[in-house]
Structures are given as structure tokens and as C-alpha cells.
Amino acid sequence: MLNPILKNSATILIYSFIWLVLLCGQWFLLLYFYEIPGLVALYDSLVFNSMFAVLGIGVWYVVKFNEIENSSIIKVVIVHFISSLIIATIWLTVTYYFAVGLYEDTGYVYFFEQSLTWRFVTGIFYYLVLTLIYYLILYNQNLKQKIKDEANLKALIWQAEVEALKNQINPHFLFNSLNSISSLTVTSPEKARDMIVKLSDLMRYSLKANPNYKTSIEAELQNIERYLSIEKVRFGNKLQYRAEIETECKNKLLPVMILQPLIENAIKHGVYESTGKININLKCDYLNNNLIVKIVNNYDNELVVKDGAGIGLTNIRQRLHLLYRRNDLLETTIEDSLFKVKLVIPQ
């Protein structure tokens, strides 16, 4: 990754300006507190600050390859401790030959040697400040990248879920519905027209639904009514449905298109497989800030369940996990020839 200081001319100018301010501060300190001659103090400040400015660019790469998220704290501390000692030593060694080698004044050489300790401490301090700044920059870069990645991931999930919803439209249901409509056009044109409208409404609701959005339970129940009214044309009185909705539930929200697959599952493995009457009961309660939907249907436990059982339930579990990051929101139980589904939607 490119050093953030070198990425454009603006950051280079800001970095240079900061070191210019430090240079002026050191020059003022040497001139007025240590009474070093003006040109000597300026030369000293120029050599020391410009040299660390160059070395400071390299500190970025020490930080980059020792990110706190990817390394243990102990390792990070040890690496920076050793690195700070090395850089401070290199800094003093190089500047010594530049400063003393080119300006061989005895008084200045004596002052330089006497000031090695505080210069070394200053080098360590510069290193720590640069390290902190670089970590803040790195954190900001990682945060922006994380936000970008999450946005891309959400877009991909949304797209994948929409495609999944489209692909989950039962082709047999569509074929049978069209076949029923074809028959009704001969025997009962009015019913055929009504069924076409309901089928188109059902398809429109399914295809336009964004799986990451939430809707009211009333909207979901209306969609179920459309679905069941189409299925009843085929099954007649063999299919019985009853819904019991508590008043508190009516203004609560749940993921769109979350209930229809449960009803489809009840019909597929109840009505389809049985020769007798199948009752599907839906009940909705509100308890402890949770919307609780229970669906119960009877079935013939002597018949062998066809392959594919539970695929719709698995898809619902995956959606719930994506939306709520929980795996305990959908429960299924079998008891006395009754298949029970309990769906919990946090509010």
C-alpha cells in the first residue's frame, strides 16, 4: 500500500510544513536557550529535522506490516520498540557525520556530544508520534474499506436473495395454476378471470419484494390469502385454512415473503401427500418484544415424504440469520400427526 504521505502533492506539502514548524522550533530553542550562533543553530535544526522527515516516511511500512488487528499486542510493542531504537540510532549517527563533519567547531562538537541523550529521546518521541499518526490513518483506511466492503456485500446479498426468491417460485404451482385457469375458461370464465388477477398479484408481490425489507403482517397475510385462493381452486374443501391474529400483532413488521414458503411447505407435505382433509392453522402473538407466528397442519404420517422436504425451511433459516444474526428463530416439531412451525421475529 502506498505511503499516505506520498499519495499526492497536498499531503507532501502538509508533511513538509509540519517538519518546517519543528525545524523553526528547534532553531529558536538552540538560539535563545542554548545560545548557539544563529547559522549554526539553523544548520543543526535543518540537518536533524530533514533527516528524520526522510526516515519518518519509512515508519509507515513498519506500521503497515504490524497492524494491530492482525498481530498480538506484545509483538507490535516489541517490533516498534526495536524499530524506534534502530531508527533513532541511525538518525543520530548520520546526522552526527553531517553536522559535526561539515562544521568542525570545538564548542559545537562539545555541545552536540552533551546533547546526545535528549536528541535520542527526541528521536524516540518523534517515532512514537509518527507511529500513532500512521495507525490512525491506517484505521481510517481500513474503516472506509470495511464500510465499502459491507455495502458491496449487502448489495450482493440483496441481489442473491432476490434471485433466490425468483428461483423459488414453484414451477409446478405455476403450471398447475395455469392449467386450472385453462379449465376454468371453459366452465367458469368469471372465475378464470379472477384467478388470473390473483395469480398476477401474487407474482408481482413475489418478484418485486426486496428480501432485506420488512412489511406488515397484514400485507403478508393478504399475500397468503391470494396464494391459498389459487390453490383452493385445485383442492377445494380438502384445503382448510384459518388465521388467528392478536390485535397487538397487526402493526408489527416481519421480513417480506417470509410466511408464504411456510404455507407452501404445509401444502406440499400435507395436502399434496394426503387423501383426507388438511387443516392449516396460523396464529400470531406478540410476547417480550417478539412477533411469534405459529403454523400447524395435519398430515398423513404413513406416507413417505418426497425428496425436497425442508428446502423452504432451510432457505428461511438462512434469511433469518442474514437479517438477525441468530439461528434460533425458526423451530419445527412433529407431534401426533401434526407438523408445527414456530417463527420468532424480534421487534
pLDDT band at 238 (very low <50, low <70, confident <90, very high): confident
Helix (H) or strand (E) holding 119: helix 116-167
Q: How many CA atoms within 13 Å lie on the side-chain side of 146?
A: 6
| Model confidence pLDDT, tens digit, residues 118-136 | 999 999 999 999 999 999 9
The span from the CA of 205 to the CA of 223, in Å, is: 8
Question: What percentage of the chain has pLDDT greater than the value 90?
Answer: 29
In order of start, what are the domains of the chain with their CATH numbers? 9-162 (no CATH), 168-346 (3.30.565.10)
Mean pLDDT computed over every residue of the chain: 83
Whole-structure pTM value: 0.50
* Bridge partner residues of 292 (DSSP): 285, 344
pLDDT band at 209 (very low <50, low <70, confident <90, very high): low
pLDDT at 86: 94
The span from the CA of 218 to the CA of 226, in Å, is: 12
Question: Which of 27-31, 207-211, 219-223 is the least confident region?
Answer: 207-211
Residue 146 clears pLDDT 80, i.e. is over it: yes
pLDDT at 210: 64
In whole angstroms, how far apart are CA 101 and each of 35, 90, 92, 135?
21, 16, 13, 36
Q: Which of 135, 58, 149, 52 is nearest to 92 (CA)?
A: 52
pLDDT, average across residues 226-254: 86
Question: Which of 42-51, 88-97, 265-274 is the least confident region?
Answer: 265-274
pLDDT band at 38 (very low <50, low <70, confident <90, very high): confident
| Model confidence pLDDT, tens digit, residues 72-107 | 889 999 999 999 999 999 999 988 888 776 666 667
Question: What percentage of the chain has pLDDT greater than the value 70?
Answer: 87
| Cβ count within 10 A of residue 314 | 11
pLDDT at 307: 46
pLDDT at 18: 93
| Model confidence pLDDT, tens digit, residues 153-169 | 777 676 666 555 555 55
In whole angstroms, how far apart are CA 266 and each of 257, 272, 287, 291?
15, 9, 25, 20
pLDDT at 167: 54
In whole angstroms, how far apart are CA 100 and each of 95, 110, 179?
8, 10, 99
pLDDT at 39: 83
The span from the CA of 346 to the CA of 290, in Å, is: 5
157 within 8 A of 322, measured Cβ to Cβ: yes
